[in-house]
Chain A
Amino acid sequence: MKKYLTSVLNILLLLVAVTYGFAQEKGNLLIKGGTVLTVTKGTLEKTDVLIRNGIITQIGKDLSASAGVRVIDAAGKFVMPGIIDAHSHAALDAINEATSPVTAEVFTGDVLNPFQVGLYRALGGGVTSIHAMHGSANAIGGECETIKLRYGVKDADALRMEGAPRTIKFALGENPTRVHGGANNIVPRTRMGVEFVIREAFSKAKAYGEAWDTYNKSKTQKGFRGAPPAYSHRLETLSDILKGNIIIHCHSYRADEIYMLLKVCTDFGIKKLVFQHVNEGFKVAPELAKFGAMASVFADWWAYKFEVYYSTAYNAAILTKNGVVTSINSDDGELMRHLYHEAGKTQKYGGLTDDEALSLITINPAKQLGIENRVGSLEVGKEADVAIFQGHPLSTYAIPVITVVDGIVRFDREKDPDDVRIYVDPKEPLDASVIHSTNDYVDNCMQQAESNYNNLFELK
């Protein structure tokens, strides 16, 4: 009987391993002799990194791996944690459900697209995980998904970073006021309205939560026959924010609206707050630091809208020096590919040190996504997301050469294939070209809300 149970158990374990393994491949690697930029624990010259089953198991000298494990010669190269982009719209088939100012019920994780070539191009820039976000057309947008760039998988679910904390997109300022107030005559049309929409949503969610608590308590009582409160996916999600189960990532620019949200969150007891773009964050850096809110900014984008006309590339440095956990993001498929260069700009605009600058694209965005225990630095026990560079990553001449996700080499410049498309459109002509203009003036967060935007501004 015992023997039978053991073999059944083994079969079950095997099935679990096979299913788990099928969903998330993990790899083994030995990266030898590089300059290891741990970001959190200093720089180690001529040091090896050993990876087993997708986890960094050892960092040291003269390490060896078992037979059959690929050895990457990193002599003369720089080994850093895989870059994390805390604001992206890549890997998504839809970005803005712009028909209502509050759409907390939608979820970008429902519409992941693993076939986008842009994901491979980001790997070519050393990026290993991104925050795939809802757009900024709504004051309260949808839940977002943190994914790893496991380019090559065909299963959309396989991109998810399983167990990463829930996050949700909020947006303040010109975008929601233009889309709803400007185009459809719906609140919000002003920053006053944006505050009201958020307070109203939270208040309704609070009432919803209380109604369900009451019902759940009452229904255990004998003879109770009342109706449950009407189920609302939207209010459920908003309730979860109030309970502290979801991190708010809020697209924002002006100092006063940033300050406004700090007050609203204080009033409702919300602590998990990260501001996105936050071009004027430097103007309220002391308040941000006091609240414990974090900031994810552009290195030097500004003046594309009026609300960023009075901002500065020194933003990241000012925030950092005032004690705000700051990251640099891209919000753009092109910019994402050289986030290491964007981080380098903070050395010009504010004199950040190498480790400070590198933190902006590694451990800090990890903290903002709640995954700092798993990625964001090269430490034993962390997941093996690694980027290897020819030249120091903060030099503009640096070239990413190998990018590793979960211990698997997902980008190797020496073996870069001619055509990385996974699916080919049989109807597209062979020479279909897309000319990317930088003068489109449709900011990426507004995709799919652009018809409203265009009508308002008479853009062609």
Chain B
Amino acid sequence: MLALFTHTFLVVSAQDVRILPAVSRSYAITQVTVIQGPGRKVEGATVVIKDGLITAVGKGVAIPSDAIQVKGDSLYVYPGFIDGLSRTGVNKPREDVPKEKPKDPGNPLPESAGITPYQDVRSFLNPLDKSIEEWRALGFTVIQVVPYGGMLPGSAAVISLTGTADKMVMVPGAALYAELTTAERVYPNTILGLLAKWKELYRQAQQAKSYATLYASNHTGVESPGTDRVLEAFYPVIDKKAPVLFKAEKNLDVQRILSLKNQLGFNVLLAEVKEGWDLIPSIKASGASVFLSLELPEEKKEKEKIDKEKLKDDQAIVPDSLERKALEKRKADFTALYVAQALAFQNAGVPFGFSSLSVKIKDVQPNLRRIIKAGLKEDDVLAALTTNPAKALGISDRVGSIDPGKIANLVISRKPYFDEKAKVKYVFVEGKLYKVEPAVVEKTDAEKKSEKP
């Protein structure tokens, strides 16, 4: 008697389908292996949930009378996963931008330049977005989402993968989101202009803020400064109340962002980092928080069939030559650096989370396994999915581990999650049970395959 949530049916009119809510908000998962956090495994335990929170965990824990029991034999329970940067559940803004030639490309409206830091991602949340269910099915329960846009799309929010657009928000205005994305046809059209514009905006914001404070204390005798929504969006950052969440995919992106941070002094969260291994010392020194990208470059399959087409390509370098072998080895060695990135951060003692902005859903679990194969311990991967991001996002008092008093966000899988044959069976988000149908999961994969860009 568990409620099923397949959203495709929800979208259809309320007359066809009668939604039957769960009979109770109490659950007990029994006889299950619980991994409360990294290095904290308990076998044959019971997890008790009531009204959205975890009330008890452990062996021989009492099962309340009104609890719906979930048999946990041969199942594994982990804290729900946390994603540092995503656009799951976020609508794209309507295309209002006119396509005609800009009259004065050097002085564009901020919107044309991608400078919209005053936008709030909450205005774009869509709880019916299909991908919410797809990510939940992987075990993700809390994600940090950002708006679409240019270099300063707006503020980020930390949301739960359940509930209405307002209920799902855990931390509004969690960060000011930024990308090194230049504007088209107007200033700033290159990374040169973008970085200069950033420095100017920040300094102007500092100036405006201090003057606004001065003005607020006594209005008489001085000209009104008016308001500036663009500059005001920086005030929480200047006050160190919110960090800048910066997409930092490539090595040089990270270098340039850290340089901005050192010059201007804001706190920064580096997200979607793909090429960070050479920058660990400077990242560590800067105190920036890090979310590594889950996307990894493809690896050449080990046993490759002789592909006639490919051989023609390589014939240019003379088949089986030393040069070709050396080049292939270099490529493979370099690709391995991407996979070993997380391990490098771990060994250097720099805590990190993961972000999912570019990775394809079907690659998430295989990529996690590749990272483990490269040497990162499972417990460390779990930390990157739970305790580390919870700390970085300032929500570790609420989520990140299975402890009484924390929100009931859980992933329950048949076989340990990092096993090749693991299958997520249930996911709890804020104490609401979602059953992951194997059919749904497969359809997702097939759908993704047919949805080639």
Contact = CB atoms under 8 A, between A and B. Distances in A.
A149 to B, nearest CB: 18
B252 A113 contact: yes
B302 interface: no
B328 interface: yes
Contacts of B214: 225
Given A155-B255, A157-B259, A426 B192 contact: no
B191 A111 contact: yes
Contacts of A186: 104, 106
Interface string B252-293: 100110010000000000000001001000100000000000
Contacts of A345: none
Nearest to B218: A225
Given A156-B255, A426-B335, 13 more contacts: A99-B105, A99-B189, A105-B200, A111-B195, A111-B256, A155-B282, A184-B104, A226-B222, A227-B225, A232-B200, A233-B196, A423-B275, A427-B297
Interface in A26-81: none
28 contacts: A94-B192, A97-B196, A99-B185, A99-B186, A100-B107, A103-B192, A106-B190, A106-B192, A107-B196, A110-B192, A110-B195, A111-B256, A142-B192, A156-B256, A157-B259, A184-B105, A225-B218, A225-B222, A226-B222, A230-B204, A232-B200, A419-B326, A421-B330, A430-B314, A430-B328, A431-B313, A431-B314, A448-B189
Contacts of B335: 426
A67 to B, nearest CB: 31
A142 B251 CA distance: 24
Nearest to B323: A418
A134 B192 contact: yes
A106 B203 contact: no
A431 B328 CA distance: 11
Contacts of A225: 214, 218, 221-222
B428 interface: no
A233 B203 contact: yes
A110 B252 CA distance: 10
Contact of B331 (A103, A111, A424, A431): A424
A228 interface: yes
A142 B188 CA distance: 13
Task: Summarize B's interface: helix, strand, loop or mixed.
Answer: helix
B187 A97 contact: yes
Interface in A131-156: 134, 142, 154-156
A429 interface: yes
A101 interface: yes
Contact of B204 (A97, A157, A231, A429): A231
Contacts of B105: 99-100, 184
A206 B256 CA distance: 31
A184 B187 CA distance: 13
Task: Summarize A's interface: helix, strand, loop or mixed.
Answer: loop
A3 to B, nearest CB: 30
Most buried by B among A97, A103, A113, A423: A97
Contacts of A98: 189
The size class of the interface chain B forms with chain A is 35 or more
A423 B337 CA distance: 10
A450 B117 CA distance: 31
A103 B324 CA distance: 46
Contacts of B252: 93, 113, 115, 156
Q: Which 4 A-B pairs have the closest CB atoms?
A: A100-B106, A426-B297, A94-B190, A424-B334
A175 interface: no
A327 interface: no
Interface in B191-223: 191-193, 195-196, 199-200, 203-204, 207, 211, 214, 218, 221-223
Contacts of B204: 230-231
B316 interface: yes
B348 to A, nearest CB: 15
A96 interface: yes
Interface in B160-200: 185-193, 195-196, 199-200
Given A424-B330, A431-B314, A231 B203 contact: yes
B338 interface: yes
A278 to B, nearest CB: 24
Contact of B191 (A93, A429, A431): A93
Interface residues of A, number: 47
A98 B106 CA distance: 8
A96 B190 contact: yes
Interface in A385-435: 418-419, 421, 423-424, 426-427, 429-431
Contacts of A102: 106
Nearest to B222: A225
Contacts of A231: 200, 203-204, 207
A184 B107 CA distance: 13
Interface of B: 101, 104-107, 185-193, 195-196, 199-200, 203-204, 207, 211, 214, 218, 221-223, 225, 251-252, 255-256, 259, 275, 278, 282, 297-298, 313-314, 316-317, 323-324, 326-328, 330-331, 334-335, 338
A234 B106 CA distance: 12
A97 B222 contact: no
A430 B318 CA distance: 12
Contacts of B225: 227
A304 B193 CA distance: 29
A110 B191 CA distance: 8
Contacts of A448: 189-190
A424 B186 CA distance: 32
Contacts of A427: 297
Contacts of A315: none
A108 interface: yes
A100 B314 CA distance: 46
B196 A105 contact: yes
A99 B334 contact: no
Nearest to A101: B106
Given A106-B196, A230-B204, A97 B317 contact: no
B192 A97 contact: yes
Most buried by B among A100, A111, A226: A100
Contacts of B317: 430-431
A430 B323 CA distance: 10
A101 B106 CA distance: 8
B189 A429 contact: no
Nearest to A94: B190
A106 B331 CA distance: 35
Contacts of A429: 313
Contacts of A97: 187-190, 192-193, 196
A182 to B, nearest CB: 13
A329 B251 CA distance: 31
A103 B330 contact: no
A225 B338 CA distance: 55
Contacts of B187: 97, 99-100, 103
A106 B189 CA distance: 12
Contacts of A230: 204, 207
